Amino acid sequence: MADTGTEREIRDEWGSLSPEFLAAMQGAVHSGDKEALLREAKDLHAADLADLIEAFEPDERVGLISALGRSFDVEALAELDEGVRDQLMEALPADVIASAIKKLDTDDAAYLIEDLDKEDQEEILAQVSREDRATLNRALEYPEGTAGRLMQTEFVAVPEFWTIGKTIDHMRTERDLPEDFIEIYVVNPAFHLIGVVPVSRVLRNRRDRKVADIMEREQTTFRVLDEAAEIAFKFKQYNLVSAAVVDADQRLVGVLTVDDVVDVIQDEAEEDILLLGGVGKEETINDTVWTTTRSRFAWLLLNLFTAILASWVISLFDATIKQMVALAVLMPIVASMGGNAGTQTMTVAVRALARRDLGAFNAVKVTLRECASGLLTGLIFALLVGAMAFWWFGSDKLGLVIGAAMIINLFAAALGGILVPLVLDYFGIDPATASGVFVTTVTDVVGFFSFLGLAAIWLV
């Protein structure tokens, strides 16, 4: 990581890249001051360099990479958001991308070129070694978001009859081993995985001991087609640092490490946040105006139809509203409170489903608890809003109407906020994707209907 002094120089008190640093770097790019760029950027951590690239305009990004030349840390490319990565992959020459691929692990190299056209991929892969080309082509055959795409194909594997001494000598002399590894995998002659040995255990045992004597046979493994969400859950659940990946025949083909899974966990969390807000799951602040508009349009269109439904409910009571204007003043309060309460319950439910803390085993208990909370909250706010309505308009009946509507709507908000995500999850639909629209519709319709319906019965 970058040292503390470097972080203080390039980042402000909120952790963002400082305006002064950005302005200096942009000025150096525009003026072609390679010496200044090398001095300021060549020692940046890959993640900091990626943030710098993302903060630049598209033409500035290419200029920065070109100016840094061989001093450019190619690992920064693997840290970029997808939108910026795709723009750079289109703009950079094929030989520059090929040079970067040669220095990256399999998973990072595959990330760089996975969304390029087949022709562009072939042009780039033609410039790497036959072995690397075969490895990358095999990785790209696996679906995106699976263990096969996320895994590194560089690992250390030894037979169980080797001694500790021979294993250590192998790690010291073999040139094709990964630079960093945590565990050594034990395989049979058919390359089937039979055990694992932490490197620390190898170092703490005598050279004459057999690997079979110190290996662990029980371990958590993944298949090449396992989904990213399942991988992230097991890494968190079992506190994994790394794990083997096997094919359909149980042959060892790769390894997943915690640094890759942290990215998966972050991506899953970010995706849920975006979907809850009705935003495309791949949208970033670096997207173009058209891309941003397109990713948001579908949910806004759906929201338009649900808003029309709520307006239709209001139209059923237009005569009631005409007779008592106070109803038009107060009814947004009922709908707004219900919408906010429903969003609170829905957010907790979606998070619990994602963490697998909510399921058939406790769905009834959690639903009853949320409904009880909704009723209690409704009673408290019914007293507050009812008193406010009486003070404002001098009508005790109006206070009773809005109080009763508040209880009904907050109960409906709690029930909808928990049931909508559960039902969507039951039918295999990501609850983060559509819960917000449906819960808002429930609270708007129930809120308007209960408030105006009670007013039509008691006041008019």
Whether residue 92 contacts residue 124, with contact meaning beta carbons closer than 8 Å, is answered with no
Q: What is the pLDDT of residue 276?
A: 67
Q: What is the pLDDT of residue 286?
A: 64
- The arrangement of secondary structure in 157-276, i.e. its CATH architecture, is Roll (3.10)
163: Cα within 13 Å, side-chain hemisphere? 7
- The residues of the chain scoring below 50 in pLDDT are 1-8
Q: How far apart are CA 360 and CA 425, in angstroms?
A: 11
Q: What is the pLDDT of residue 264?
A: 84
- CA 422-427-428 angle, 5° bins: 95
Q: What is the pLDDT of residue 387?
A: 95
4-145 folds as MgtE N-terminal fold (1.25.60)
Residue-range domain boundaries for the chain: 4-145, 157-276, 289-458
Q: What is the pLDDT of residue 213?
A: 95
Largest Cα–Cα separation, the chain:
95
Q: Where are the alpha helices (DSSP H) in 58-146?
A: 58-68, 82-91, 94-103, 106-113, 118-125, 130-141
Residue 253's contacts (CB-CB under 8 Å, 6 or more residues apart) are 148, 151, 153, 224, 245, 246, 247
- CA 159-161-165 angle, 5° bins: 90
Question: Which residues on adjacent β-strands are paired with residue 246?
Answer: 223, 252
Q: What is the pLDDT of residue 281?
A: 61
Helix 94-103 with 106-113: angle, nearest 10 deg: 160
Do 157-276 and 289-458 have matching folds? no
Q: What is the pLDDT of residue 3?
A: 45
Q: What is the pLDDT of residue 197?
A: 96
Tell how strand 193-198 and strand 183-187 pair up.
antiparallel
How far is residue 141 from each of residues 120, 128, 134, measured CA to CA in Å? 16, 18, 11
The structure's pTM equals 0.70
Q: What is the pLDDT of residue 58?
A: 84
289-458 folds as Tetracycline Repressor; domain 2 (1.10.357)
Tens-digit pLDDT profile for residues 337-374: 998 998 889 888 988 887 788 888 889 999 999 999 99
